[in-house]
Amino acid sequence: MNYRHAFHAGNFADVMKHASLVRVVDYLKRKPASFRFIDTHAGLGLYDLTSEAAKRSPEWREGIGRLIAPAGLAPIAVGADDDEAAALMAPYFEIVAAVNRGQGAGELSFYPGSGEIVRRMLRQDDRAVLNELHEADAQVLGAQMRHDPRVKTLAIDGWSAVKSLLPPKERRGLTLIDPPFEEGGEFQRLEAALREGCRRFAGGIMMLWYPIKAGGDAERFTKRLAGGEVRRLLMVELLVRHPDQPGRLNGSGLIIRNPPYGLDQELEVMVEWLATKLGQAAGAQGRVSWLVGE
């Protein structure tokens, strides 16, 4: 396994994924019962945007770098028409700023992974399991999380984690499946993981991330899900250019199983706003739709 997310941390796809993740966790926290977060392909808890990897591929500059002021860690100024989107994005921005302040940085120098974002949102009785197979990254992740007893780290195959970790004993939870898509068949594995997760934990929330590139793989994937047996599937996509541009990551999407009531309306506001801020060429747009209802 060669994929290293450090080259892509903080890019537009991370922004959309993580801002959406914060909204889902916020909904989980509205009920007093504890929950468990499971991240099957966790990467690192914290990414240094001044590292050699980030400098070689500074994708964050077209992602979080467009949304956080160069100094002071404040979100970019928004107009009155953006108030609703700004309020929905605020908790995500606050976490990014807090991570940097915690590292002694007065400007955007670090970016949190999904595990660190959720860790900062956990209550006393909530739990998180972060899994990362890459040996070096797994060691770093374990070291980053070792002081928090609410968080457990693993280093097993991410696809097997769905079988081994579901259902959680809390009977409430969120599973994030964010594979690297560096091998063929990842869309098929994602479908299989969705079906397995629903079979093992029918009431749980699942978030599945996927890339949108030329060739139509993402469109075929969502069409198969729309015609499948799994119910309550929400599709959220952010395109930064037309999806048919070859050799580029043109956008990214999330499939959310069992989304909380009202989440679809929030995410529609968010991704439409993000498209105006993070779009890189003609065809940029944000879109939210139900693939399958009840």
Domain boundaries, the chain: 5-292
* Alpha carbons 196 and 164: distance in angstroms, whole number: 11
pLDDT score, position 80: 72
**Catalytic position from the list 14, 126, 137, 178:** 178
* Alpha carbons 128 and 36: distance in angstroms, whole number: 5
pLDDT score, position 4: 65
CA distance readout (Å), 288 to 236, 238, 259, 279? 5, 9, 12, 17
In CATH, the architecture of 5-292 is 3-Layer(aba) Sandwich (3.40)
Nearest one of 39, 33, 62, 32 to 49, comparing CA atoms: 62
pTM over 0.75, yes/no: yes
- Strand-pair partners of 252: 211, 238
Condensed to tens digits (0 to 9), the pLDDT of residues 152-183 reads: 999 999 999 999 999 999 999 999 999 999 88
% of the chain surpassing 90 pLDDT: 87
Condensed to tens digits (0 to 9), the pLDDT of residues 33-64 reads: 999 999 999 999 999 999 988 888 899 999 99
SS3 68: strand
pLDDT-based confidence at residue 70 (cuts at 50, 70, 90): confident
Is 178 assigned a catalytic role?
yes
CA distance readout (Å), 30 to 74, 140, 152? 27, 32, 23
Answer whether 105's CB lies under 8 Å from 6's CB: no
SS3 80: helix
User: Is 1's pLDDT higher than 60?
Assistant: no
104 torsion bin: left (phi>0), alpha (psi -120 to 50), beta (else): left
Condensed to tens digits (0 to 9), the pLDDT of residues 237-253 reads: 999 999 999 999 999 99
Mean pLDDT (the chain, rounded): 94
User: Residue 114: enclosing H or E segment and its boundaries?
Assistant: helix 114-119
Residue showing tokens 């929905």:
88
User: Is 91's pLDDT higher than 60?
Assistant: yes
* Alpha carbons 191 and 197: distance in angstroms, whole number: 10
% of the chain surpassing 70 pLDDT: 99
